[in-house]
Chain A
């Protein structure tokens, strides 16, 4: 079960890290033009960058969950997975955000995908936590 959870976390992490790079407005050739005439990326681009920062530790977490045999290690990994999952959801919704126009790809594809992946990471984290907690309790 933990091996399956580890693999799932890795797959989700890859989606979290890679998908935004192809669905933010920067990748669609859209940028914000300031009054000075300078162009800067829209905030969905910064969300995409931030999600790489979540994806990389999640991949490491997934690998460790796959390999770990100790229940206490799995407990700790589960907690950090849940926290990372929460941040995956927070970046596109609150911490940074995406474009407000719901016709844009970052709003109608990137954001919901990140929310879904983040939620799945949280759920997997909760399941592995409960399983590890019960094993630790029964041994005690």
Chain B
């Protein structure tokens, strides 16, 4: 017989109280972990995407900022155009090292000539590109030729086929990029030459032709000279080049960041309410239990238990229940977030990538700690009151 065994016996002997505390702890830990996982996941994803883009500044047509962000983050196809002479204008701005134009296209929706539906397609200029080509060199040791593409993590050749059909044109998938948790994972990248070839052949091969406006581009990726402040360069581009908006990488996806902040606030409110209610409920349940067990605790005091022993014993019971509930809560939450991550991304319209093992462990421990703290706090007052009661009074009817 020892202290821990006494606490465990008390837990199993009072199943209603134990279940209530376990459920509250589960809720608190689970909700806290879900909030932190989703928001950290979204933040990580945004950062990975910005790293993937590799650009210090993305220049887009004025007014198209939101469309571009949606395209990059959620693979919502965007049809945005600006004259291709802006490339030369941007290149002449002091501090600009490289300018690489891109075309944003989209496959047809549910068309028989496409083996994918409404996929976001990005065409790049291999002569100036500084994101895809270097990665390709490292990964497959070669560049993309005509009719070849590289895809995000979720781009794949349909079962039973050897190529992906876009506007009736057969594309060979050479490699898949690492996941970002954003729309880039469902995006296909090929060269300007391939895009123009698709457009040229689409009137005969596709149910609807691919139209690329003449002398137009969708966006220009800018890398600044090392040591130069990208913000200053962005301001210069804004002043000197008309009809465009330069988006600095750190400021990219501001609307999504605002959305995340909004989500964080509302989640924190829900978490706060749940936490408060749980504290009250656990406090009530412990008060009831402590009252019911007045005599039993009085007997323990008579047998030689100190006040401190009774207090520690009650807090240990609370702690064990918190750990059980919190443990189940974090495991269940992790499991659910892993299983339903695509659904979560779609429902919240936010990107998401699962954190590293270390980051996950930290968040799990934080969730558990919150559950433990909550239950201990809630149980403290009734436990203190009962442990400091006169044993003779405690044992009276």
Residues of A within 8 A of B (CB): 1, 100-103, 107-109, 112-113, 115-116, 119
Is A102 touching B154 in the complex (CB atoms < 8 A)? yes
B110 nearest CB neighbor, chain A only: A30
Question: Interface-forming stretch among B268-276, B300-308, B338-346, B387-395?
Answer: B338-346
| Cβ 8 A contact of B335, one of A100, A107, A108, A116 | A116
| Cβ 8 A contact of A119, one of B156, B159, B335, B346 | B335
Contact partners of A102 in chain B: CB under 8 A:
154, 342
Contact partners of A101 in chain B: CB under 8 A:
154
Residue B348 at the A interface, CB < 8 A?
A: no
Residues of B within 8 A of A (CB): 15, 154, 156, 159, 186, 335-336, 339-340, 342-343, 346
| Cβ 8 A contact of B342, one of A1, A107, A115, A116 | A107
In the docked arrangement, what's the CA distance between A1 and B19, Å? 11
- Main DSSP-derived SS at the B contact region: helix
Contact partners of A116 in chain B: CB under 8 A:
335-336, 339
10 contacts across the A-B interface (CB closer than 8 A): A101-B154, A102-B154, A103-B186, A103-B346, A109-B343, A113-B339, A116-B335, A116-B336, A116-B339, A119-B335
In the docked arrangement, what's the CA distance between A108 and B154, Å? 13
Contact partners of B15 in chain A: CB under 8 A:
1
Is B159 touching A108 in the complex (CB atoms < 8 A)? no
A102 nearest CB neighbor, chain B only: B342
In the docked arrangement, what's the CA distance between A102 and B186, Å? 10
| With A100-B159, A103-B186, A108-B346: A115-B154 Cβ-Cβ less than 8 Å | no
A/B pair count, beta carbons within 8 Å: 26
Is A112 touching B156 in the complex (CB atoms < 8 A)? no
A43 nearest CB neighbor, chain B only: B159
Question: Which one of A1, A103, A107, A113 has the highest number of Cβ atoms from chain B below 10 Å of its Cβ?
Answer: A103
Q: How far is the CB of B179 from chain A (nearest CB, A)?
A: 11
In the docked arrangement, what's the CA distance between A112 and B340, Å? 6
| With A100-B156, A102-B154, A108-B346: A115-B339 Cβ-Cβ less than 8 Å | yes
Is A108 touching B156 in the complex (CB atoms < 8 A)? no
In the docked arrangement, what's the CA distance between A116 and B260, Å? 27
In the docked arrangement, what's the CA distance between A112 and B341, Å? 9
In the docked arrangement, what's the CA distance between A102 and B154, Å? 8
Q: How far is the CB of A123 from chain B (nearest CB, A)?
A: 10
| Cβ 8 A contact of B339, one of A1, A103, A112 | A112
Q: How far is the CB of B123 from chain A (nearest CB, A)?
A: 22
Contact partners of A103 in chain B: CB under 8 A:
154, 186, 342, 346
